[in-house]
Amino acid sequence: MAQEYRNPSHAPFHGLFSADRIKDGDRYELSGGDRIYYAPASGRHAQHNATGASLLDSDPAVEWSGVDAGFSSNANTMRAPDVSVAPPPSGKKGWIPGVPPLAVEYADKGQNEADLQIKIKELLAAGTRFVWVARLTGPQRVEVYAKGVRMRRYSASDTLEAPGVLRNPIPVQALFDRKEAHRITLRNLLQREGYENTPEAILQEGIQRGKAEGKTKGKAEGKAEGRIEGALEAHRSPFRHSGRARYSCGCANPCAYSWLPRSKTARCMAHQSGAGK
């Protein structure tokens, strides 16, 4: 979800709230019965949410993903990660039961770290397998949280994996760089259609196939031309010498050349017509 701002007017509303009292579109999450206000996302934050969601959704193993989707693990808790990867929801009204196997949070300026850590713990305790926190301030990096293990930090040159959730590794850079995200998305989409090679390999394969088909077609056309020339030579033989002389001087009878291509016969007739004037 968008960054939380701890302005006095937007401080947590203490008091036991239940998830069903928060309506779709309300800018609140629920933690242990306390409502927490989240402001709308900035342009940069919103762009990263969209890029990250599209990137993860394209993975061949992913059946469903969502942005700011509300998950309720119990009556007093409802969390909405920036990006979630989960099995397809049932379609019933209300918040999605449980938690997503993979949750991604983009942490920008104004992020309340204490609340972020509480959110991570709640997700992991309820069954989330991986929480990725992509830091939008400072060097590009992603913090990976999983239950029972220490947090690990990955730099822009590293790759991320989510076994059992994603089929393919994700370069850290793809969570920050839109162009890199599109490149990985293309690879994933091709795999969804049954193409296992990379886009570059598929392009090279197409080039080689085109060259091979071109050579085959050229050989076939060459053989066909040879057969045509052979047939013409056979028809030409009865009047090889006289015919050539007449044709070259333009005095030949066009009927004698009825076996020639129409264009040549037409030229011959035109020549004779001109000569007779």
Confidence class for position 5, pLDDT limits 50, 70, 90 = very low
| Residues contacting residue 147 through CB under 8 Å, at least 6 positions apart | 124, 125, 128, 129
- Say what the pTM is: 0.69
pLDDT at 272 over 80: no
Whether the Cβ atoms of residue 83 and residue 56 lie closer than 8 Å to each other: yes
The mean of the pLDDT values for the chain is: 83
- 34 CB burial (10 A radius; 0-12, 13-18, 19+): middle
Distance (Å, rounded) from C-alpha 69 to C-alpha 226? Answer: 70
Here the tokens at position 1 are: 């979800």
**pLDDT (0 to 100) of residue 266:** 45
Question: Which residue spans of the chain are classified as CATH 3.90.1570.10?
Answer: 8-196
Total number of residues shown for the chain:
277
CATH match for 8-196 among 3.40.50.1820, 3.90.1570.10, 3.30.70.100, 2.40.70.10: 3.90.1570.10
pLDDT at 161 over 70: yes
**pLDDT (0 to 100) of residue 1:** 57
For residue range 233-254, list pLDDT tens digits in order. 666 655 455 444 444 445 555 5
